[in-house]
Amino acid sequence: MAVPGRKVSPGPLAGRGPVGGWRLSGVGAPAGKGGAAAPVRVRFAPSPTGSLHVGGARTALFNWLFARRHGGAFVLRIEDTDVERSREEASGWITAALSWLGLDWDEGPGRAGPYGPYFQSQRIELYRRAAQDLLERGLAYPCFCTPEELAERRDEARRMGLALRYDGRCRGLGPGERRRLEAEGRPHAVRLRVPQTGSTVVDDLIRGRVGFDHSTLDDFVLLKSDGMPTYNFACVVDDLAMRISHVIRAEEHLSNTPKQLLLYEALGQSPPLFAHVPMILAPDRSKLSKRHGATSVEEFREQGFLPQALVNYLALLGWSPPEAEEGRELFTLAELAERFSLDRVVRTAAVYDVGKLTWFNSHYLRQLDPARALELALPFFVREGLVPPDPPPEVRQRVAQAVELLRPRVRTLAEMARAGAFFFRPVTEYDREGWEKWLERPGAVELLEKARERVRSLEVFDPPAIEAAYRRLAADLGIPTPPLFHATRVAVTGSTVGPGLFDTMSLLGQRAVEERLAKAVQRLKEASGGGG
């Protein structure tokens, strides 16, 4: 399998061999050197700080699609070395969200692979060895500056209007000085010796060539004084160790990429190819946040969105398949995987539009086969308190019928359960306008009483029989059907809208319909006759 996009020099390191003796188990020359076909290996590397957000989900999706498109591997790596921000439960939330979306990983948590473990917190030794190697080769140096000293100098730089970069104080320490400070037991970080002149060019598969002047970088930290790696360092060590061929990630990491390229160079290895995916913005073009509604996969799931809809929607957020030019928008995950290519990812930010997502969801709700629709909808009816968890067969059957009636009319599963509540509990509130218009009118009481008699007289209570009886009643009374139909709907469902009236009545059952008609009559009488 040839590596797509590996056509140009991947950066400043192309073609260079290892510089030093740095070797990690499982790390050799990166695949693909010398034009040999290299397997596609991509990774999604979330930091487990919370639930999976749409931006992260899209990054995961693009990686997954790219791996599937090229018969490669999709690796899930949990970047949990930031002890303060990482949350124990979050990796479980992230894996659950990915599984729900249908984005299965070939290697990662719960899926042992040749380059594990896949939690960075379990790979600390690897980073320390890599840092030690850079120290020995003089490409990195220990930095004894304390956080307080650094903060003080930053404040001073700020006061003087200077750049807030590390000032390189420990860069020039002689061996004797270092030994002395070490002997004093001063803790130290490890910093990369970044070239002070020149620049590094990121040759991005989406963004093109982006240059970064070394004067804008500082000697950034690889290992903190507590021995924990920084993101940039752990990321590079792991992308090498895991033989990642393409790094597809959010645009916000573009500014990290020159640092990472310098690290590949220091480690004497060729870097992977990079593709930075543009941001997702809110409709007002601000950063997408909580105030724009649901932003995490979990929230969408709870609101009754289907994974097919979310995946289809997210895939088209910043990328489009060729058929999109003819207006086609609906694609299954498998269809997306057949078509995905990085060269059709746009460079500009994508604007998030929940209306569009909702449209996709309505579509996929209608597409579900009835058994699957029931399976997905049932938890929402349970959550609304309409049916018990694990309901008996006859209740399940009723839910199944309600789902079939409601499915074409709602946009989400949560909306479905709310709209179908009247099937499972008595109506206590009525749509006010509907009540005023169809029930608070002369003759309504008599009409509903007659309707109730007809309902009671029916021997078969299926939709055709109910409809025939209703039409006959209107004809017998010499009235048009709408007042009868609308009054009945409001009385038995509480609403002016809903699935077909006769289907609805049939599913509610003869007894319930009779009772609800009687209750409406009673309410009307109470209101008009002052209770009489």
- Closest alpha carbon to 44 in 106, 131, 125, 129: 106
Q: Based on CB atoms, which residue is closest to ligand GLU, 236 or 521?
A: 236
Contact 262, 202 (CB under 8 A): no
Contact 372, 34 (CB under 8 A): no
Half-sphere exposure at residue 296, Cβ-oriented, CA atoms within 13 angstroms: 13
Q: Name the minimum Å distance from CB 103 to ligand GLU.
A: 15
Q: Is there binding between residue 219 and ligand GLU (CB under 6 A)?
A: no
Tokens of 464: 């055709």
Question: Stretches 45-53, 332-340, 349-357, 367-375: which one binds ligand GLU (CB under 6 A)?
Answer: 45-53
Site string for ligand GLU, 232-251 (x = CB under 6 A): ---x-------------x--
Does the active-site annotation cover 290?
A: yes
Q: Name the minimum Å distance from CB 21 to ligand GLU.
A: 27
Q: Name the minimum Å distance from CB 98 to ligand GLU.
A: 13
Within 10 A of 372 (CB to CB), how many other CB atoms are there? 11
Alpha-carbon separation of residue 477 from 48, 468, 492, 499, 514 (angstroms):
68, 14, 21, 26, 20
Contact 257, 206 (CB under 8 A): no
Question: Stretches 30-38, 43-51, 397-405, 406-414: which one binds ligand GLU (CB under 6 A)?
Answer: 43-51
For residue 145, give the 3-state DSSP assignment.
Answer: coil
Q: Is there binding between residue 253 and ligand GLU (CB under 6 A)?
A: yes
Q: How far apart are the first and last CA of the chain?
A: 84
Question: Stretches 39-47, 90-98, 432-440, 482-490: which one binds ligand GLU (CB under 6 A)?
Answer: 39-47
Q: Based on CB atoms, which residue is closest to ligand GLU, 268 or 272?
A: 272
Q: Name the minimum Å distance from CB 239 to ligand GLU.
A: 8
Site string for ligand GLU, 66-105 (x = CB under 6 A): -------------x--------------------------
C-alpha span between 19 and 13 (Å, rounded): 11
For residue 318, give the 3-state DSSP assignment.
Answer: coil
C-alpha span between 328 and 350 (Å, rounded): 18
Measured N-to-C along each axis, helices 124-136 and 231-241 cross at an angle, to the nearest 10 degrees, of 100
Q: Based on CB atoms, which residue is closest to ligand GLU, 81 or 412?
A: 81
For residue 135, which amino acid is it? Answer: L
- Closest alpha carbon to 201 in 192, 210, 193: 210
Q: Based on CB atoms, which residue is closest to ligand GLU, 244 or 405?
A: 244
Question: Stretches 4-12, 42-50, 280-288, 430-438: which one binds ligand GLU (CB under 6 A)?
Answer: 42-50
Q: Based on CB atoms, which residue is closest to ligand GLU, 80 or 218?
A: 80
Q: Is there binding between residue 301 and ligand GLU (CB under 6 A)?
A: no
Q: Based on CB atoms, which residue is closest to ligand GLU, 235 or 373?
A: 235
Q: Based on CB atoms, which residue is closest to ligand GLU, 46 or 494?
A: 46
C-alpha span between 123 and 223 (Å, rounded): 13
Alpha-carbon separation of residue 248 from 63, 235, 267, 405 (angstroms):
6, 13, 21, 43
Q: Name the minimum Å distance from CB 163 to ligand GLU.
A: 24
Half-sphere exposure at residue 117, Cβ-oriented, CA atoms within 13 angstroms: 11
Among 47, 51, 412, 504, binds ligand GLU (CB under 6 A): 47
Q: Based on CB atoms, which residue is closest to ligand GLU, 45 or 350?
A: 45
C-alpha span between 13 and 126 (Å, rounded): 22
Site string for ligand GLU, 160-189 (x = CB under 6 A): ------------------------------
Instruction: Exactly one of 7, 259, 287, 290 is catalytic; name it.
Output: 290
Question: Stretches 44-52, 122-130, 273-281, 447-455: which one binds ligand GLU (CB under 6 A)?
Answer: 44-52
Handedness of CA 115, 119, 125, 129 (dihedral sign): positive
Q: Which residues are catalytic?
A: 290
Query: Where does this chain bind ligand GLU (CB under 6 A)?
Result: 45-47, 79, 235, 249, 253
